[in-house]
Structure 1
């Protein structure tokens, strides 16, 4: 589906068809263009095709959509659609003109349409037009689609294409001789010609500068959240990925230090901690690191035991840190405590430690907590918010609802694949017309060729290699780690939380890259049958790391399951 989202002001009929096609598993391999502008229209200065459906090996259908609940085809040849002014140009004429306009355009681009059924139809989405409209020489019965067809939209389209192809075969000698197209390659070419990917008057350097300044400006609007909550002793900022939580955590730390206080800014992921420590270096009185690094420091340990068990991290280490905090008293307690990724830290033993890290404890201390309790808790801590409420009853809440990281098309795909409720609805960045790409692979297939193609396509679009990150839910067995491709082995390097070197592409696990982002992201190894942990949460985290370009390599049955089909 191009685009993968339906704009808010689209007519209800277009929204209904868009949703029906997007969620149906019977449209595999189809290419659907929605709201396609026609600059060189056969009749008007310009026009629009509501939907262009390209079905490989079957045909192309141009659909005019009418959402009106009342249709009147008058004896004088005019049409009265709902409350619209009567018009002599009926919907079937509109559909036909759009189809011929697109056909003429494709022929100028040397597309061979001789054996490709290219047809038009009208979809009346609010009435049973197939039984209500009388027979007329102005249209064929097979060109009528109606409200009942929304129940099985792909079947209705295939029915229309089959009847239309039969009509063409009856009228054009040997039309279907040897089979009809387009084949997969021709279908991709037709879609690419009708809706090409492009970027107007923007070179790579300009785009990078624009992105950075835009992201900073948009996140700065979130400062209103800090200002609004400045009078509260403790605040929980919650919001989905991309809503500016980490940026706000940094800003809140700098504000607290500016008032002469001392305290801690802690998070869960070591890569994020390394990035935060680098960007906040030089702030006297501020301790920055992961929560577990701080526990090790308090416990007097340089590093964890070589064969540390889960019990060491969840029980022994917190107990040893608490002992140090109790012995140190006010000397070790900070004036404030800022936690990013708090959803991964809100367990009872950890909350016991946090209670001693700040003057006044969790109940009365200066707390600024940032978390995503929808899908980003990939470490099985489902009741974290409830525990926080019990331990910090005076904690005020501030919900961040606007996405200021991802381009809208990435956010809408995240809504679909991660089943976010209510999901992203507001975006501060302007869309650039480029859809995320999802490439299927078969279970067990080596994805090296797909990964190399993805990186090269991003490079050809103007992205530097060090602006691209490869993520995977797997660690040792990921495509980036195991590939034998000579070029990939030359450019790939493991991420360390700091910016990549020029000429290199960093790779990491999805889990370790939480809290970070990159202009372009390729996610590999998306196979729910072999992924560990909560796959929907991993998918959510991985897809939301991309600010501008997203390419996902996803196993075929996993893709069908993710978009609502059967696995």
Structure 2
């Protein structure tokens, strides 16, 4: 028997251990893969298969194992309450998801039967008369115990598979024995969706060693907190390493066999997180913006050009779908990392959707929340305050105050211009940077601003920075910004900040770029005034800069800037 992996973790469910032991003791020439998660192939919905067994002369058998000592169906629901979805529907859904993807990837498997069954090694189970389940779909405790040897157990599974094929007119029996080549193809196909990968242990240890070099003394305790507490709240300003910590915790929890989601509010940082986590090739690790993940999990396809009404109605549509127990089961996570928590806690409709993804809700669930609750101006400030009090009451807390991204001079500019809380940062990791770290320039009109932006870009390039290390951020909306004129008149290539792999100078707006960073930041279209001007955008925009910062303000706002700087100086006396 070719077992993958070759051993089973003792922390696995007892019923799965029982089945594993029986299979590994057999001398059959089969391939058995323990613990696959087809979520990446099924819109990231929970689609797990406990065992996938390739029987070379029969087909592929998907096995769902339940370890309960009692299991049943009373006509309306399964019991005990921990069985939130029919085991048979689970096995069937996983089987169909596997076959769709398998045939799409490996055409040679188009005629290979894919069937399913359930095994309850520790519970007696009588097939209810009011449920459309065939006797060959299930093996309960008595039948399992009756298979005294691994060979007898495998013979019983093979008979169940053959009966399932014979009972389905849409499935034809396998005519040709699957070759060694096709078996290897199947193993390679399954690798990205294997949940348990002992051979990755060395890689995980190497990554943890590399991370230890990056994390500061103030950040390391968060990893220990998440090991020992089901709920953790991390508070900290921009540049304190919250997203780095969140990504690593998500990876560690997934490596422990948990189904993990990483959610944030901002679309761009959601795309970045999804890209980072996808590189792990782990089926139980899902990342992205909250709305994109929720829509994927609930099967909602946005229109080509969604309007305000679509976004306003979306939370209620998501909640409606998640009230279906089967949908909720498939969507729910064992552990959730919630980045940019201030934006989610301040939006009750969105928070209600996210809560439905947490097994146990905010009170009894397992999650890590990371947010900046001091320097964000939000429309739902009252809601944020109430929800934050609830989370603080339920979670272990940690405060990050060391700025690890910005030079001290850049951080101080952000504090001065934005009116940010002066206690946000206790210190800065990066004290140097020289006299050319930042610059504030006045412009007269759009044409003058384009010329000065080009000068800033030239200065950065002459200093050795590459195009991809420069981001131009409009202080306001793209439509009212200098960006279209800049693209038209500049000879350089500009690409959206969402195009992570593309070559060229990045562009975005301050609001959309929240959570991201680049070596050189050029902030444009700043028109300071004493009314209706959102100074807090200075905090968001300025703290994106790692090495250089350029701010372009309209000349009409010069006196207002002088007043703000002077007032900040008095405030610090």
The TM-score normalised by the length of structure 2 is 0.56
Answer yes or no: is the 8 Å Cα contact 1:261–1:335 preserved in 2: yes
1:313 aligns with 2:311: yes
1:255 CA drift (Å): 0.9
| Residues in 2 aligned to 1:338 and 1:440: alpha-carbon distance in whole angstroms | 42
5+ long unaligned stretches in structure 1: 1-212
Distance change (3 Å), C-alpha of 1:214 and 1:336:
closer
- Contact 1:483/1:489, CA 8 A, preserved across alignment: no
CA contact (8 A) 1:436 1:551 kept: yes
Q: Name the SS for the 2:471 alignment partner.
A: strand
Residues 205-243 of structure 1 show CA distances to partners (whole Å, capped at 9, x for unaligned) of xxxxxxxx9999443542322213432221111111000
Which residue in 2 is equivalent to 1:75?
A: none
Classify the secondary structure of the residue corresponding to 1:520.
strand
Q: Secondary structure at the match of 1:462?
A: coil
- Decide whether aligned partners of structure 1 residues 494 and 332 sit closer, same or farther in structure 2, where only a CA change above 3 A counts: closer
Deviation at 1:414, TM superposition (A): 1.2
Q: Determine if the alignment matches structure 1 residue 458 to structure 2 residue 460.
A: yes
Q: SS at the partner of 1:303?
A: coil
Per the alignment, residue 418 of structure 2 pairs with: 418
CA distance in 1, matches of 2:467, 2:256: 41
Of 263, 267, 270, the residue aligned with 2:264 is: 267
The 1:285/1:214 distance shift into structure 2, 3 A limit, reads closer
**In the alignment, which residue of structure 1 is the partner of 2:183?**
none
Distance 1:268 1:364 in 2: 23
Q: How much has 1:419 moved relative to structure 2?
A: 2.0
Q: Is the Cα contact below 8 Å between 2:235 and 2:373 reproduced in 1?
A: yes
TM-score (norm 1): 0.57
- The answer to whether the Cα contact below 8 Å between 2:298 and 2:322 also exists between their aligned partners in 1 is no
Which residue matches 2:234?
237
Gaps of 5+ in 2: 1-208, 569-573
Q: Distance in 2 between matches of 1:220 and 1:299?
A: 39
TM-superposed deviation, 1:495: 1.9
Corresponding residue for 2:428?
A: 427
Shift of 1:485: 6.1
Could you say which residue in structure 2 is the equivalent of 1:331?
330
How many angstroms apart in 2 are the aligned matches of 1:398 and 1:497?
A: 34
CA separation in 2, counterparts of 1:530 and 1:258? 52
Which residue does 2:481 correspond to in 1? 478
3-state SS of 2:393 partner: coil
Residues in 2 aligned to 1:444 and 1:398: alpha-carbon distance in whole angstroms: 45
Task: Give me the whole-angstrom Cα distance separating, in 2, the residues matched to 1:462 and 1:214.
Answer: 27
The alignment yields a C-alpha RMSD, in angstroms, of: 2.8
* In the alignment, structure 1 residue 536 sits paired with structure 2 residue 535: yes
Alignment map for 1:83-482 (pairs within 5 Å): 217-219=213-215, 221=217, 222-281=219-278, 282-304=281-303, 306-309=305-308, 312-314=310-312, 316-327=313-324, 328=326, 329-346=328-345, 347-377=347-377, 381=381, 383-390=383-390, 393-421=393-421, 422-434=423-435, 435-442=437-444, 446-474=448-476, 475-482=478-485
Contact 1:299 1:317 in 2 (8 A): no
The alpha carbon displacement at 1:382 in A equals 5.8
Distance in 1 between residues matched to 2:502 and 2:304, nearest whole Å: 30
Alignment match, 2:5:
none
Query: 2:212 and 2:266 mapped to 1: Cα distance?
Result: 22
Q: CA deviation at 1:295?
A: 2.7
- Give the stretch that moved more between structures: 474-483 or 403-412: 474-483
Distance in 1 of aligned mates of 2:291 and 2:550? 33
CA pair 378-410 structure 1, distance change in 2 beyond 3 A: farther
Separation (CA, whole Å) in 2 of partners of 1:228 and 1:392: 14
The number of equivalent residue pairs is 348
In structure 1, how many angstroms separate the alpha carbons of the residues matched to 2:344 and 2:462?
Answer: 41
